[in-house]
Amino acid sequence: MLLLPVWASMLLGLLVGFLPLVGMEPTGEAKSSSDPAPNLKPPPLSSGSNCSSELTLKLEFSTKVVENEYIVGFTGYFSAKARSLYISSALRNDVDGALEWHIVPRENPASDFPSDFELVHISHSSPSSLKTLEDHPYIKRVTPQRKVFRVLKYVPSPEPAAPWNATRGTQKWQSSRPFRRTSLSLGSGFWHATGRHSSRRLLRAIPRHVAQILQADVLWQMGHTGSGVKVAVFDTGLSEKHPHFKNVKERTNWTNEKTLDDGLGHGTFVAGVIASMRECQGFAPDSELHIFRVFTNNQVSYTSWFLDAFNYAILKKIDVLNLSIGGPDFMDHPFVDKVWELTANKVIMVSAIGNDGPLYGTLNNPADQMDVIGVGGIDFEDNIARFSSRGMTTWELPGGYGRVKPDIVTYGSGVRGSGMKEGCRSLSGTSVASPVVAGAVTLLASTVLNRELVNPASMKQALIASARRLPGVNMFEQGHGKLDLIRAYQILNSYRPQASLSPSYIDLTECPYMWPYCSQPIYYGGMPTIVNVTILNGMGVTGRIVDKPIWQPYLPQNGDHIDVAVSYSPVLWPWAGYLAVSISVAKKAASWEGIAQGHVMVTVASPAENDSEVGGELTSTVKLPIKVKIVPTPPRSKRVLWDQYHNLRYPPGYFPRDNLRMKNDPLDWNGDHIHTNFRDMYQHLRSMGYFVEVLGAPITCFDASQYGTLLMVDSEEEYFPEEITKLRRDIDNGLSLIVFSDWYNTSVMRKVKFYDENTRQWWMPDTGGANVPALNDLISVWGMAFSDGLYEGDFSLAEHDMYYASGCSIARFPEDGIVIAKNLKDQGLEVLKQETAVVEGVPILGLYQTPSDGGGRIVLYGDSNCIDDSHRQKDCFWMLDALLQYTSYSMTPPSLSHSHSRVAPPTGTEHPLPQRLEGNHLYRYSKVLEAHLGDPKPRPLPACPHLSWAKPQPLNETAPSNLWKHQKLLSVDLDKVALPNVRPYRPQVRPLSPGESGAWDIPGGIMPGRYNQEVGQTIPVFAFLGAMVVLSFFVVQLTKTKSKPKRRKPRIKRPTYLQQQQTTTGKTPTV
């Protein structure tokens, strides 16, 4: 009877090996008769492959302004006639006289409805005419029309390299940061390891579809398939008769091409991940697909196309919207405002977080907004994708601290989706992970009987509360963890409207998840630790915090050893707000070490939409547990203060990269924070025993007697006169200063200008890599200055290989100081004249002991790229260690003081010092300068931030021991939501209906509704014959077994003495 499982296994193996040849196209893209973009066609794959090959989507991106076209935004929705009258009325009063202008017609589905913007062509416009438009009471904003070019190229993905571990060592990478929003369908073969590796595992398995991997088939068996949910895909369109889709409700074209079809394949892929009904099966095949074609086949788009399409999505009452684009400009007002309006109308927006990892501070907008579900990517081994962007958000810098993003991560590598015409392909990128979550959200929304409960906040609450945390990964990489569809279903179906927090607790002792908070204990006298918590309000689109948050320390857990201050959004809209918690150590714990705990209570109120009583409100009270580690105040020599206040970044102004070689990444947009693009430097300093704090206020706002070294790196901001005076006094009293500068050359700045899209003017950088004239004002009192020279090159210093990347030189230094010089290339000459020259003896490093009794020390270095993660090629952390030894302990490094590269300090008389660029607009973005009759002047010195510490209400009770597992949504009991008995994964096969694709459908589980009937009624003939063959075989085998005579056992020859004994007894031996 053992023959049955053996032969059944053999037959099953034959069938499994045969099915892909019959039912699936082995190549990444099915054949098509025409391809409008030849470079988009995926390469051919081996015909013997059992699965489609993974493709990487490379992207080239550029943008420019459409000449003389402006987007005029209104304060409300008006008819076309009213909009024309308002514009005419505004321009009639123009001081420049009669203007030639006309409204550009927009022929799209939204043109027949009221709109909140108009596209206007103005010939020979001037700033005054634009200002006249903006002065009209019904006109909110005037911005230029943008034209976007996007080039997608499919290439085979490289083999994955060794898993990337962000907690060890350093790594070089290059970003492909565009100016504006781009498609986020990039790929990479490098991964961030989470430590989840076994000694033995299958090297390659036949891939299942992502929907089944996330157990969507469990919900399908319950009859949930996305029915009744409207999902919008903003992308490149979709073919009309694509065999993977059965419920395409509407296809709209917002471009200037007369087609609705997808000529690129990206939009089809995204739609397939969400709603494909066969082959590479999507999550919600019965959902209503609304296809918005916003990119042409030439990969061009305009801002006005997106705004019109967004308005139409609101009009059509879209439930879920997938947006696989992103960019760094969170101050792109028309776009950001429209996203807020979308979510305020209960549109659940899902967006890719970006492909600029592993660098921190690279989140893309709109995924970094509180009301949007921002999605990061992982591979199928639960490793964070190296390309997936990391947090924190940088909106809040320099004074505050960023929020936690992404919200959630899911599969974004090698995910299979629909091909452009038929068949399947595999792609990687966060724009692949985004439709995975969008499809899951669509499926989840269809499971809720009371659809009024589903809104952007409640859906995000369910997703983050159910997410599975990945081990060994911090919250700025994984957010709340990996998408868990079934747990999200359980939570959503026992949900009641409430408020919640993200993160739901603050534990400064939990590493690595709570990095960077857990990387450094707090102590008395230190800068307050700021944790920016997001409040999600599932009760309504708008809400408020009742009274004030309450701080309740746990006395048994030493909660009275910490002080807490709280600031928060005055209004929670749309669906969310912030709760900024500042934590400091009480004076009585200055010499104490231990753990302190408490919690903050917050009550949120929201208008009751369906309450019959006028003025009725829904309220929800949430608890934010806090747990910190306190240590005695470290010695002054171990404390380093990072100047964040004087760092500026894009947006809003044009601040160029510090390394001019990086032409594909021209903007300095990562925040210049120790937890973003200076993360590796921070980790190194912590490993060396230093305590690093952040100054988010002017230099006048810190007690210099508490710190050994003030670290200024890549400063773009100006300085208040009071700051210059105080810093001189502080250094005389023992504070030391280390300055890492960067290039500044007005001729080069003019060379790297570009045409700005907001002002329609040529923009030159308002500073160089650093604001050298401002730095020279700061350090001039000691006879020091940087030059406007621009140098680069490799060199060796103290037996370490170094690289100078677009740095400046030291122009002046005290004669009793130590100066190190190197031979470098003149990069300024190369940029301006395309000539190459080597300059000998360029002063790059200076060390100086101030003459005052007990005075501090000053160090200057002309380049910051060696400690900046953005484009670092060779790190100089060893040099930073040596410099801190010098500034903190007055220990001059012998490798520098006795170096053969030591030269006489420059006097600065050879060349004039660099001056500020004439006509620069730094005052527009500066916290220090303000316009004054055409000559910017310093503003009045602002008051130092003053925290209002909450009055404690102590609790004499024990705090929870595990804050993570203790937190959950209110009144959610997962045990009460029953799931069906899940059958083992067994692919079902059914033939296609007439007119459908010739491919076989191999879903991962039995679909509900008519799918069950079709599977039961149309069992393939070859499967039935196979079963008959097996049965016949066993019948034959059993018949043969009964008819055969039994074989006799062979006779064993016995020894002679036994035969003699048997003969003696008279017994005949048996045969």
Peptide bond into 652 cis (omega under 30): yes
Residue corresponding to tokens 């230099």: 699
Apex CA 450: angle with CA 446 and CA 456, to 5°? 70
Q: Any residues with CB less than 8 A from the CB of 510 and at least 6 apart, and which? A: 518, 627, 963, 964
Q: Whats the size of the chain, residue-wise? A: 1071
Query: Strands (DSSP E) along 884-966, which ranges?
Result: 902-903, 929-930, 937-938
Helix (H) or strand (E) holding 684: helix 679-687
Encoded tokens for 271: 């739609």
Distance CA 515, CA 285 (A): 40
Residue 561 a catalytic site member: no
Catalytic, out of 94, 116, 217, 235:
235
Residue 672 a catalytic site member: no
Q: Of 157, 239, 596, which is closest to residue 415 (Cα–Cα)?
A: 157
Q: What single letter denotes the amino acid at residue 551?
A: W
Q: Of 875, 878, 398, which is closest to residue 670 (Cα–Cα)?
A: 398
Catalytic, out of 157, 183, 304, 431:
431
Distance CA 713, CA 398 (A): 14
Distance CA 661, CA 920 (A): 24
Peptide bond into 392 cis (omega under 30): yes
Distance CA 874, CA 801 (A): 7
Peptide bond into 398 cis (omega under 30): yes
Residue 431 a catalytic site member: yes
Q: Any residues with CB less than 8 A from the CB of 324 and at least 6 apart, and which? A: 183, 184, 185, 234, 235, 266, 270, 351, 352, 430, 431, 434, 435
Q: Of 2, 1, 234, 19, which is closest to residue 1026 (Cα–Cα)?
A: 19
Query: What is the end-to-end Cα distance of the chain in Å, rounded?
Result: 30
Distance CA 700, CA 725 (A): 9
Question: Do 890 and 856 contact (CB within 8 A), yes or no?
Answer: no
Encoded tokens for 294: 């916003």
Q: Any residues with CB less than 8 A from the CB of 940 and at least 6 apart, and which? A: none
Beta bridge partners of 424: 418
Q: Dihedrals φ, ψ of 780, to 5°?
A: -65, -25
- 396: exposed, middle or buried (Cβ count in 10 Å: 0-12, 13-18, 19+): middle
Distance CA 774, CA 778 (A): 6
Question: Do 224 and 1008 contact (CB within 8 A), yes or no?
Answer: yes
Apex CA 669: angle with CA 665 and CA 672, to 5°? 120
Distance CA 692, CA 880 (A): 13
Catalytic, out of 266, 561, 673, 921:
266
Helix (H) or strand (E) holding 841: strand 838-849
Kind of pairing between the strands at 182-183 and 288-293: unpaired
Longest Cα–Cα distance of the chain, Å, equals 143
Task: Measure Cα distances from 478 to 192, 390, 483, 506, 540 in Å.
Answer: 11, 8, 10, 16, 27
Q: Which residues carry out catalysis?
A: 235, 266, 431
